[in-house]
Structure 1
Amino acid sequence: MIKKGILLFLFILSFINIYAQELQIRGRVLDAQGKEALSFVTVAVIGSTQSTYTDDDGNFNLKVPSAQSKIRFSYVGYENQDLLFSTFKSPAEILLVSENLIEEVVVKRPKLKYSNKNNPAVELIRQVIAHRDENRLTGQQYVEYEQYEKISLGLSNLSEKFINRKAFKNYQFLFQKDDSVQIGDKYILPAFIEEKVSKIYYRNDPKKNKQYILAERKAEFDPKFVDNEGLGNYFNNLYQHIDIYDNNIALLTNQFLSPIANSAPTFYRYYITDTIKTSDPWLVELSFFPRSKTDFLFQGKLYVTLDGQYAVQSTQMKVNEDINLNFVRDLNIELAFEKDNKSKYFLNKSSLGIDFSLTERGSGIRGNRIVYYSDYINGKVQPDSIYAGESVVKAPTQPAVANKEGFWASLRHEPLSKAEEIIYYNIDTLQTIPSFRRFMDISTLVLSGYKQAGPVEIGPVNTFYSYNPVEGLRLRVGGRTTESFSTKFYSEAYMAYGFTDQKWKYFLSGTYSLNNKSVYKFPQHYIRASIQRDTKIPGQNLDFVQEDNVLLSFKRGENESYLYNDIYRLEYKAEFENRVTISAGLSKWRQQPAGVLNYQVTQEDGTPLFLNELNTSEVSVGLRYAPHEEFYQGKLYRTPIFNKYPIFTLNYTAGIKGFMEGEYSYHNFRAGAFKRFYLSQFGFADVDVEGSYILGKNIPFPLLTVHRANQTYAYQLNSYNLMNFLEFVSDHHVAFNMQYYMNGFLLNKIPLLKRLQWREVFSFKAIYGGLRDENNPSFNNNVFAWQKNSDGEVSSFTFGREPYMEASVGLSNIFKILRVDLVKRLNYLDQPNVSEWGVRARFRFDF
């Protein structure tokens, strides 16, 4: 009976949904005179709460409760138009007439210099700024509302010739006629959609914003090829929440100054362009423009209430075409506000549309993020339990209905457009076509370096060949299992051979997932056992790249100090939803010198003794906290999506003498903090601070901190780019690293250079530390002697009275993808094989 009841209920829901779809209208609203599309026109059923707004192209889609319904179209500055549903033929074309349609009048006056002084528009905006805190959400004590958000993307501006190519013969079902284009036949290819419905509770004191995700849905690709969650994170980062009341609005990894920010009158020009007396309360139309067209600022219109609240009733904004913004052909923001139960204005709808393209008229990617807010209640006190726990909580959704169209039709605040409705179906269909799967397979190989081979991935291909002076030509082949093999057990292995040292190297690991999820996805929770024999440069620790990458085979200066490492390791890792990560490990490690590296101690009679190996046994624990962290999970590394929150790390490693042949006892404490500082119009700065302290006596240099050096020609963010390998060693240190990206604030103001759209970047790195006498070979013959290069010169040191420092000045955004730095080493210039200046390059993609 229960099953029959459920089936009957679903049948009724489906029937209701089908019927509701019949009682809906679609169409487009245009200006009656110029036939231009009108966005943000209110389309409402008279006598009902059902309403919607037109999108950027004037399109609307509205459910209607009955065939006798009357629909009202209203827009600031235009006459209202009321029409009966029975007179509609979808899709309908609605023409709105301007309230003050008069003949063109040309008024000429002397050009006046703009000034903030005695300017009524500036006085008005200062009132808006003064009342900002009391009008925004964070100015209320208790607020709750329902939120529906939708992100959709597709290829845009496709010609008929393009879609009729032979390669797309089997994909014609994907293309849709682009109704927003006025001239010629153009098509779009909808490619991604994500929907989310949430209940939001906000409390001001103590401050807490709690989001209960009631349902979410997105078009997903095969996880073998794409990290769907990371892709969603990335799109959400590009299409962020827009709050006009924030001082700075984050968009496309940049920050734009709000037109009602505290400092806005310094950067914007304001003009009163209209007074709207047909609205209650009356509104002032305030037009604003950037003083400098190249700064990260908006231009558009604000509609401000004249009821003493000085609240923003709506706004339309875009960015100037002269701005240094990569690949963005068009960007539009529209916000609408309504009064709540306490006559405060709350955000009712937010629309962000961005059109990406390599060229002005070519094909591109059009994306939209639309958010609707409803059931807004101001002042309702909720129990503390509502706000307890994590800031974002996903409510369980019944799998049987989570992806059913009838279920989602009841949740949406606005029906999907025709093009959006079929995205889910198209993505599923695409992945059944063999030619598309081959395309995804090849794309994955090119972008991530792995080739799919059933339940195994072979790669990464950029490590198959490399060169170094110890191994000579090095060939390597490897791979790993995927979820297709097992969702609990994962294995990874490689074999490598050096033709100069004629030695085999290898790696083998087995990982058991403790949460039945892929160990390559968040949240990771696993136990891993591994064995490895391979070469390593002491102190080289690269981010987002492997040491035997073929691109790193070319190095400056002498590069002959290597280690052969034999490592047996057992690891545990657990990630939590609050972005806390706990790790622990147990390892047995044998290090053997190679190349010009040697382990030399001085005996009591003064003669040198050379050791063949160094054996240690270590236990370690680690803690990492990255609040609200998001990232894209690649095949090898996670690409972080940085936010305003700091990232903290804390690690402890202990060497145990006498355990598993360990020869030394020591305690290594390390801590670090990273934060991105947003500086509004002046760009942003990444600041990294770290430090360490090692307790123990008679500790040889391989167990101390060998500071990260870089002898390649690639600029490395977290290494010292003019420091030589193994040049500095310490048992205690602090380090400071700042990368400052100015986003073209200076270069964009130079007439000729601004056409190149280059951007300034500056860096400064400093590190200071030392060696206590018990670990310093200058004072203790029981530890390994300072290393020497091939010429017999001492080539490793500790720090003197001043920190090692280097700085750089660079240009980024060269050809949109390249950063080139001129690096200067500021001190310790008398040490062997030192370069005072260097040019380094790095691939970097920015908007």
Structure 2
Amino acid sequence: MKFIRFTVVSLLPVLLMAVAQTTGAQTTFLAGTVTDSITHEPIPYVALFLTGTNSGGLTDDNGRFQLRSSSRADSLKLSVMGYRTKSIPLKTTVNRRMNVQLAPVGVALSEVVVKPKKEKYSKKNNPAVIFLNRIRAAMGKNDPKRNDFYNYEKYERLTMALNDFDPETNYAWMGKKFKFLKDHVDISEISGKPILNFIVKEKVSDVNYRKSPHSQKEHVNGMRQEGIDDILSNQESSRQFLEDVFREIDIYGNDVNLLQKRFVSPLSRIATDFYKFYLNDTVVVESDSCVVLSFVPHTSETWGFIGKIYVPKNDSTMFIKKIEMHLPHTINVNFMDAMSVTQTYEKSADGSRLKTRDDMTVELSVLPGLPQLYVRRNTIYSGFNFDEPENAEVFNLAQREIISDDASEHDNKFWEEKRPVPMEQGESSVGELLSSMREVPVYYWTERVLKLMANGYVATGNPSKFDYGPIMSTISYNTAEGLRLRVGGMTTANLSKRWFTRGYLSYGFRDHRWKYEGEVEYSFNDKKYHSREFPVHSIRATSSYDIDQLGQNYLTTYGDNVFLSVKRLPDTRVTYKRSQVLEYNMELYNNFSLGLMSRFERQEESQWIQFIDGHGNNFPHYNELTFTLKLRYAPGEKFIQGKSDRRSINRDAPVFELIHTYAPKGLGGTMFPINRTELRFSKRFWLSAFGHVDAIVKGGHAWEASPYMNLFLPSANLSYLIQAESFALMNPLEFVNDSYAMVDFTYWMDGMIFNRIPLLKKLRLREVMSFKALWGHLSPKNNPDFNKDLFVIPSEVHTTLMSNVPYMEASVGVDNIFSIFRLDAVWRLSYRNAFDAPNWGIRAGFHVTF
């Protein structure tokens, strides 16, 4: 679903191009930027003249210009000393934004090929490396967080737009139907290109830092967002996702966290091994003469930047005044055409570095042949002080980000006062643009289809009180049921903000049985739309009847998802289960959650799984009443909230889980006692320039004798799609354990090898390896061969008792095929040649990543 949601947000703006059209005015209007064709730096004071008119002008200090004329112009002529004069023909009707490049005099790159000698770079006795080491040595001395407290105000604006949106030249084929679009076109002050904004998010907040005990809190006073991502079911998830992808950069760390990747910082401990450094001539930055330290990666395809660090001349504190960073064009980053970051700093009275501006611009191409996207995240910092905040109790709050109740309710006057930089016309009119676009039938209906893909549910009204879904489970197939049809849905907060229901009804055409689930939930806090919104604090009652796929536990999707219907083996390890569940769930803002559950369950036999004990007695069903405690702690976790599930925005946060299930024999007709404990830990470990490892470690123990259905059944994945925490080549019920330990490691190498192979680096392929192992034990008390009171495992299942050798699988794969596909070759390393289990196989997956 994360893949679908990302794709929807990326493709929706393309609709603006597919159905949109502008016409120019009858007069001439030109705006844009003039840059150097070699360095791409803006050129100030270029003379411009509209031939055929009396209009002309000069570019400003940043190379920008605007020209208007009531007469028709034949061409635009540009001239300035040191550059070749250029003339650009103009059409009859002109309303254009342009980025004009001028070639320096004497430079004819199309006719000259320069082949420099191979550089002999050495970091030994290199003045640039010595200069960098001096900067690193002084980092702690000017760190503002060396103070007991550090406070500041932060304003952040994130915009997404269609890049180079000039229908007069680039998209003239669109026709002349939607003239209103021209009123919403802005000029990027960074690139000088015309852009059409479709998402704008603003946030103003106070940030408070305390050194000991360490704590940092952000109090959001105002928040405003408009754009096409309002079709997603949870706007807060969209905001957090974009803030995580395009987060503000800390160059003083070893790694730069950006685009949900890790780049090597030019101030990293390994910077001198990863980058080449050069000292350049001094330049003036805000009246300070600064030494320029340039840096570039040894291998441009790897995860690093090219850029410059500006340090005031003769400053013994090695204070960084400004830093500029860009991604190399050859870097192995998906969808990225260009990215630049500029940070500026000022020095406080005590010598602390105070970041005043963090400005990032990104140009993206999602699919070939479609328009570029433009993203800008501009953050301004002010109001610095090192005093203990008046609201010091804020440090005792659980959440890191505290959003005021009225943060989204402020009027235009509030934002005019709080914005340190004014908004462009197009930025402030995104809502009007989308309202106009939704009056166009083709855009309206296409947006509804993409909304369905993103959310998985169909709204039945405006506002909707009942949503139908999930759509992906409407039709599926499995061995027991054959063709399975399902209808269902859920009520929303438009019906009640605290009472919610959801459920489904399904039918199997092979077993001719109806299945169902019905749920009623009361939330102790008001919800904005649905019951699963964070934080959950509720009581929930559920009644269900459905098949139970023993030994198959799909953690990231529904078991009846249509994409899991194709399997390598008939799915016959199933029973029928009736259950009534009463549960209490509480989530805290510090990402600690508590769950208490009481479940009465009746397991009914199927034609493949019968309940026969060691004495030969046949039971058509058995009952159990269980009580479960679940504790979960994931400090710093961020996720995308769906209507039925959640997906981590990233896996950086450690996740700890403890689950204990208890069922006393005889209570509520419980046939067998259950006393089972399970622990789980997961985290992503970053290896700087060498990729990252996703690690999962878990284990459990059953303390009482119980039949195999109540023990630990490792998850077997019968589909051909890669599934988390499942074994691709294991059969369901192949192993049954009352004690187990499992590890699941996936190493994403991010092109560490392929980037050095000429053909493969052009394809931007990446390496991925994984290793999964399960060690388990079945004690005599839980082995039906020794304990005749337990149910016998059907011989057709071919269960194997584990020895001291763990079950192991390993895979080697190619990731990033066409930027979204992964293909793995998987090998079974132990317990090979098992009944109906392959020794190797090919598995596929798809996901979106930069």
Secondary structure of 2:377's counterpart equals strand
The one-letter amino acid of 2:485's match is L
- Are 1:470 and 2:480 matched, yes or no? yes
Alignment CA distance shift 1:842-1:443 (3 Å): same
Deviation at residue 28 of structure 1 after TM alignment? 8.5
- Are 1:236 and 2:246 matched, yes or no? no
Match of 1:687 in 2: 695
The answer to which of 499-508 and 477-486 deviates more is 477-486
Report 1 or 2 for greater relative contact order, CA contacts < 8 Å, sequence distance ≥ 6. 2
Alignment CA distance shift 1:108-1:227 (3 Å): closer
Match of 2:309 in 1: 302
Deviation at residue 167 of structure 1 after TM alignment? 9.8
Distance 1:292 1:548 in 2: 46
- Are 1:564 and 2:571 matched, yes or no? no
Distance 1:171 1:597 in 2: 67
Alignment CA distance shift 1:730-1:492 (3 Å): same
- Are 1:662 and 2:665 matched, yes or no? no
Alignment CA distance shift 1:32-1:465 (3 Å): closer
Distance 1:55 1:512 in 2: 62
The answer to which of 752-761 and 591-600 deviates more is 591-600
Deviation at residue 336 of structure 1 after TM alignment? 0.5
Secondary structure of 2:494's counterpart equals coil
Q: Deviations over 1:48-73 (max 9, x none)?
A: xxxxxx99987799xxxxxxxxxxxx
Match of 2:56 in 1: none
Determine if contact 1:587/1:618 at 8 Å carries over to the other structure: yes
The answer to which of 729-738 and 419-428 deviates more is 419-428
Secondary structure of 1:312's counterpart equals coil
- Are 1:538 and 2:550 matched, yes or no? yes
Distance 2:440 2:515 in 1: 41
| Pairing partner for 1:733 from 740, 749, 756 | 740
Alignment CA distance shift 1:669-1:55 (3 Å): farther
Query: How many residues were matched structurally?
Result: 763
The one-letter amino acid of 1:341's match is A
The one-letter amino acid of 1:134's match is K
Alignment CA distance shift 1:816-1:764 (3 Å): same
Secondary structure of 1:442's counterpart equals helix
Distance 1:738 1:58 in 2: 52
Distance 2:123 2:849 in 1: 35
Cα RMSD after superposing both structures: 3.5
Determine if contact 1:221/1:228 at 8 Å carries over to the other structure: no
Distance 1:542 1:171 in 2: 50
Deviation at residue 648 of structure 1 after TM alignment? 0.9
Deviation at residue 419 of structure 1 after TM alignment? 2.0
Determine if contact 1:174/1:190 at 8 Å carries over to the other structure: no
Q: Deviations over 1:552-581 (max 9, x none)?
A: 122113432211111111122222211111
- Are 1:350 and 2:358 matched, yes or no? yes
Determine if contact 2:186/2:426 at 8 Å carries over to the other structure: no
The one-letter amino acid of 1:722's match is L
Alignment CA distance shift 1:717-1:398 (3 Å): closer
Note the 1:614-693 alignment, pairs <5 A.
614-693=622-701
Determine if contact 2:345/2:356 at 8 Å carries over to the other structure: yes
Distance 2:106 2:199 in 1: 46
Distance 1:495 1:567 in 2: 15
Deviation at residue 475 of structure 1 after TM alignment? 2.1
The one-letter amino acid of 2:621's match is E
The answer to which of 451-460 and 615-624 deviates more is 451-460
Match of 1:417 in 2: 424
Note the 1:592-603 alignment, pairs <5 A.
592-603=604-615
| Pairing partner for 1:251 from 250, 258, 265 | 258
Deviation at residue 220 of structure 1 after TM alignment? 6.0
The one-letter amino acid of 1:466's match is S
Structure 1 residue runs without a partner (length 5+): 1-26, 41-53, 62-92, 94-100
The one-letter amino acid of 2:743's match is F
Q: Deviations over 1:114-140 (max 9, x none)?
A: 111121111111111222222333344
Q: Deviations over 1:73-104 (max 9, x none)?
A: xxxxxxxxxxxxxxxxxxxx9xxxxxxx9999
Note the 1:573-612 alignment, pairs <5 A.
573-603=585-615, 608-612=616-620
Q: Deviations over 1:696-739 (max 9, x none)?
A: 12x11111111111111111121011110111111121111111
Alignment CA distance shift 1:350-1:812 (3 Å): same
The one-letter amino acid of 2:733's match is L
Q: Deviations over 1:27-59 (max 9, x none)?
A: 98877999966599xxxxxxxxxxxxx999877
Deviation at residue 543 of structure 1 after TM alignment? 2.0
Deviation at residue 641 of structure 1 after TM alignment? 0.9
The answer to which of 417-426 and 173-182 deviates more is 173-182
Q: Under a length normalisation based on structure 1, what TM-score does the superposition of the two structures give?
A: 0.83
Note the 1:73-472 alignment, pairs <5 A.
112-160=119-167, 169=177, 172-173=180-181, 176-180=184-188, 187-219=194-226, 225-276=232-283, 282-305=289-312, 306-358=314-366, 362-378=370-386, 385=393, 387-390=395-398, 392-394=400-402, 396=404, 398=406, 402-427=409-434, 437-454=444-461, 455-472=465-482
Determine if contact 1:209/1:391 at 8 Å carries over to the other structure: no
Deviation at residue 385 of structure 1 after TM alignment? 3.5
Determine if contact 1:732/1:770 at 8 Å carries over to the other structure: yes
Q: Deviations over 1:579-601 (max 9, x none)?
A: 11111111111112224222221
Match of 2:27 in 1: none
Match of 2:70 in 1: none
Distance 1:441 1:57 in 2: 42
Match of 1:505 in 2: 515
The one-letter amino acid of 1:242's match is I
Distance 1:626 1:278 in 2: 44
Distance 2:230 2:35 in 1: 46
- Are 1:801 and 2:808 matched, yes or no? no
Alignment CA distance shift 1:553-1:396 (3 Å): closer
Match of 2:831 in 1: 828
Alignment CA distance shift 1:122-1:393 (3 Å): closer
Determine if contact 2:658/2:679 at 8 Å carries over to the other structure: yes
Secondary structure of 2:781's counterpart equals helix
Match of 1:18 in 2: none
Note the 1:735-814 alignment, pairs <5 A.
735-789=742-796, 795-814=798-817
Distance 1:397 1:670 in 2: 39
Deviation at residue 111 of structure 1 after TM alignment? 5.9
Match of 1:844 in 2: 847
Match of 1:481 in 2: 491
Deviation at residue 540 of structure 1 after TM alignment? 1.2
Alignment CA distance shift 1:744-1:175 (3 Å): farther
Determine if contact 2:184/2:425 at 8 Å carries over to the other structure: no
The one-letter amino acid of 1:681's match is A
Deviation at residue 345 of structure 1 after TM alignment? 2.3
Deviation at residue 302 of structure 1 after TM alignment? 0.9
Deviation at residue 635 of structure 1 after TM alignment? 3.4
Alignment CA distance shift 1:725-1:397 (3 Å): closer
The one-letter amino acid of 2:513's match is K
Deviation at residue 186 of structure 1 after TM alignment? 7.1
The one-letter amino acid of 2:819's match is K
Distance 2:252 2:127 in 1: 21
Q: Under a length normalisation based on structure 2, what TM-score does the superposition of the two structures give?
A: 0.83
Distance 1:692 1:108 in 2: 64
Secondary structure of 1:636's counterpart equals coil
Structure 2 residue runs without a partner (length 5+): 1-30, 45-58, 67-97, 99-103
Deviation at residue 686 of structure 1 after TM alignment? 0.7
Distance 2:436 2:499 in 1: 30
| Pairing partner for 2:731 from 724, 740, 746 | 724
Secondary structure of 1:283's counterpart equals strand
Secondary structure of 1:594's counterpart equals coil
Deviation at residue 786 of structure 1 after TM alignment? 2.6
Secondary structure of 1:705's counterpart equals coil
The answer to which of 550-559 and 738-747 deviates more is 550-559
